[in-house]
Amino acid sequence: MSTLVAPPRTTNAVLSTAVPNPRPFRLVRHSMALAKRSLIKTWRTPEALIDVTLQPVLFLVIFVYIFGGAVAGSTHDYLQFLLPGILAQTIATGAIAIGVNLNTDIAKGIFDRFRSLPVPRSAPLVGAVLGDVVRYVIVTVSTLAIGYLLGFRIDSDPLRAIAGCLLAVLFALCLSWLPVFVAMKVRTPGAVQGLMFALIMPLSFASNVFVSADTLPGWMQAFVDVNPMTHLVAAVRGLFLGTPVGSHVWWTLAWCAGFVALFMPLALRAYRKKI
Amino acid sequence: MTADLVIEAEGLVKTFGKTKALQGVDLAVPRGTVLGVLGPNGAGKTTAVRILSTLLPPDAGTARISGFDVVRDAERVRRTIGLTGQYASVDEDLSGRQNLELFGTLLELGRAGSRRRAVELLEWFDLTAAADRPAKTYSGGMRRRLDLAASLVGSPDVIFLDEPTTGLDPAKREDMWDVVRSLVTNGSTVLLTTQYLEEADALADAITVIDHGRVIAYDTPEGLKRVVGGQTLEVRPSDPAHLSRIAAILSEVGSGAQADEIRKGVLAVPVTDDAALTESVARFAAAGIAVTELSLHLPSLDEVFFTLTGRTASEDDTTSLKEVAA
């Protein structure tokens, strides 16, 4: 430990007040640095991805082989119909994890360190949200890969297929401000998980994920028609299968904008108040 | 007040629900010195540090760091401070190096600058061998060193250390003290909170004693020790039969005060200066008395509090610590 007595400041050109003045785009750069932190964490703990990789496997296998014959007459037809829906459901569920992680993080003190640094207050949250994009890409790729193994085929073209994937990732990215907001408001990670599940599950079942919406009773159709999940699924389904997408892409984008416009300011405000 | 106060706080008040964490605290730290803030759990030490480091706005009162107000000029304050404490930690999933590089980036050191600073600090804190392991695999002492290193990335002028040695074994504690001393040698100003008078005495130029959110004493270590009774010399003879002869010697060495048997076979006497130790060694040798233990002790926090407030720094405050932390 004799090394401890060496001078800590002199060898470096940056002396105390010489921490440079903020350069432009600080929020962007700091958020990216903090997003990298989330990436490293995902990389270090791949087991945290189990939920989002196992869930689509289970749902696809269960629904395709148990209900496929009854719902669509053939398991292949049902797989074609179901996969875009499962992708949307899985990616929306995957967005819950960020709330759970943030709630854990804030209790640990690393956020206090961030707040004692000359870093924009929102950067740690923005960084965490951006860092999770990689998770959504992994979800998308793994769900498609499993679908392919089971026999799913894209009937449109690669460009539209990629557009469908990007739309799903964007949806999760924007939706994740809701769990972030919840994470700022409740006390435990478990509560974030429970509350978000209670919100996401009805959204994914009272939708066109599993069955075509026109088979549902009228009162439920009213809900299904405005459900953001319905629009996302219809858009992705159209983009994957080459069927008409109608206004669903626009509706999905509108919902994305809505999530960010509403929950991002709420989350940032709650974050400032929380600590 | 004198010109070069780096940390100045006047009348800080902070209330959490029913808990009055701070009830009008004043602090003043001149440049290049160490202030020890001494107090039991729940006294308000951490709350004071959180206010001074811009994490928490005070309900009343003002505080300035290097002349910048911690509320109005929080951004500039953050550029001159480093914070280490129970609540300002590192990311456990990241390695030591990744943590330091992240803070370097956030402090605008640039990619190369962050990398260089991380290497330098890892080296300095003897963490090079563990640099690329996740921080959660570090031992308690290593974690503490990494926490401190993380607060020094930006070469801050002012360093807050919130109980830097709590939970460390004595050897690690002394290492940490060396670090603090070298920080001051390099021109930093340090405010450290502690529950140990011994620690404050070893490091601080001045000591502020806080209890229930109020300053109950502010003095130099020497001044405080004069008030609370200075040091105690403790002796355990190899042969208990020598106790009475030792008691006689101690009374003479210790400025006339009566020696007490504080534990079975251990005599203690209050002394006013360190020379008493060497003198007693010489006297025991001359008298041919062998001793197995001989040590100088500062009063414990409990004794300090008993002298200053007439009651002990009891543990009744452990609950309010949690409230302060919340």
DSSP B135: G
- The answer to whether domain B231-297 has CATH 3.30.300.30 is no
For range B165-179, the mean pLDDT:
86
**Which pLDDT score, from 0 to 100, does residue B273 have?**
73
Nearest Cα of chain A lies from the Cα of B241 at a distance, in angstroms, of 43
Please determine, for residue A4, whether its predicted confidence score (pLDDT) is greater than 60. no
Buried b or exposed e, range B273-293, using 16+ CB within 10 angstroms = eeebbebbeebbeeeebebee
Selection from A201-215, B133-147, B268-282 with the highest mean pLDDT? B133-147
Enumerate the residues of chain A whose CB falls inside 8 A of the CB of residue B179: 4
CB-nearest partner of A112 from B88, B102, B155: B88
Residues 205-264 of A with CB under 8 A from B: none
**Which pLDDT score, from 0 to 100, does residue A76 have?**
87
- Interface touch B113/A14, C-beta < 8 Å: yes
- Label residue A76 exposed, middle or buried (CB < 10 Å: 0-12, 13-18, 19+): middle
pLDDT single digits (tens) A183-192: 999 988 899 9
Please determine, for residue A38, whether its predicted confidence score (pLDDT) is greater than 70. yes
**In a mutagenesis test of the A interface, which of B83, B102, B125 is the best target, namely the one with the most A β-carbons within 10 Å?**
B102
For range A157-177, the mean pLDDT:
95
Chain A, nearest residue to B141 by Cα: A1
**Which pLDDT score, from 0 to 100, does residue B13 have?**
95
Selection from A96-110, B104-118, B248-262 with the highest mean pLDDT? B104-118
Beta bridge partners of B16: B19
**Which pLDDT score, from 0 to 100, does residue B53 have?**
93
Chain A, nearest residue to B76 by Cα: A118
- The verdict on A8 touching B (C-beta cutoff 8 Å) is yes
Enumerate the residues of chain B whose CB falls inside 8 A of the CB of residue A117: 78, 103, 106-107, 154
**Which pLDDT score, from 0 to 100, does residue B2 have?**
52
Q: Where are the domains of chain B?
A: 5-226, 231-297
Mean pLDDT, all residues of chain A? 86
Please determine, for residue A233, whether its predicted confidence score (pLDDT) is greater than 70. yes
pLDDT single digits (tens) A245-259: 889 999 999 999 999
Nearest to A104 by CA among A187, A200, A194: A187
Beta bridge partners of B156: none
pLDDT single digits (tens) A133-142: 998 999 999 9
Please determine, for residue A88, whether its predicted confidence score (pLDDT) is greater than 90. yes
Enumerate the residues of chain A whose CB falls inside 8 A of the CB of residue B185: 7
Report the alpha-carbon distance of residue B295 to residue B253 in Å, rounded. Answer: 14
Please determine, for residue A47, whether its predicted confidence score (pLDDT) is greater than 60. yes
pLDDT single digits (tens) B195-209: 888 899 889 999 999
Q: How far is CA B242 from CA A175, A198, B233, B237, B249, in A?
A: 80, 77, 17, 7, 11
pLDDT band at A218, cuts 50/70/90? confident
- Label residue B69 exposed, middle or buried (CB < 10 Å: 0-12, 13-18, 19+): middle
pLDDT single digits (tens) B259-304: 778 788 888 888 877 788 888 888 888 888 888 888 887 777 777 7
Enumerate the residues of chain B whose CB falls inside 8 A of the CB of residue A122: none
Question: Do B5-226 and B231-297 agree at the fold level?
Answer: no
Q: What is the ipTM of this complex?
A: 0.79
Enumerate the residues of chain B whose CB falls inside 8 A of the CB of residue A5: 178, 182
And the tokens for B78?
A: 């953050």
Assign a CATH topology to domain B5-226: Rossmann fold (3.40.50)
**Which pLDDT score, from 0 to 100, does residue B173 have?**
87
Nearest Cα of chain B lies from the Cα of A215 at a distance, in angstroms, of 48
Nearest Cα of chain B lies from the Cα of A1 at a distance, in angstroms, of 7
Report the alpha-carbon distance of residue A122 to residue B257 in Å, rounded. Answer: 63
Chain B, nearest residue to A36 by Cα: B102
Chain B, nearest residue to A105 by Cα: B91
Residues 256-275 of A with CB under 8 A from B: 275
pTM tops 0.90: no
For range A43-64, the mean pLDDT:
84
CB-nearest partner of B178 from A4, A10, A114: A4
CB-nearest partner of A15 from B152, B155, B175: B155
Please determine, for residue B123, whether its predicted confidence score (pLDDT) is greater than 60. yes
Report the alpha-carbon distance of residue B189 to residue A14 in Å, rounded. Answer: 17
pLDDT band at B321, cuts 50/70/90? very low
Report the alpha-carbon distance of residue B146 to residue B152 in Å, rounded. Answer: 10
Please determine, for residue B226, whether its predicted confidence score (pLDDT) is greater than 80. no
Q: How far is CA B100 from CA A37, A98, B113, B120, in A?
A: 12, 24, 11, 10
For range B45-51, the mean pLDDT:
93
Q: Where are the domains of chain A?
A: 27-274
E-state strands within chain B: 5-16, 19-30, 34-38, 60-65, 68-69, 81-84, 158-162, 189-194, 206-211, 214-219, 231-237, 260-263, 266-271, 291-297
Nearest Cα of chain B lies from the Cα of A224 at a distance, in angstroms, of 41
**In a mutagenesis test of the B interface, which of A14, A121, A187 is the best target, namely the one with the most B β-carbons within 10 Å?**
A14
**Which pLDDT score, from 0 to 100, does residue B189 have?**
95
CB-nearest partner of A14 from B109, B121, B126: B109
CB-nearest partner of B155 from A14, A37, A110: A14
CB-nearest partner of B83 from A22, A116, A119: A116
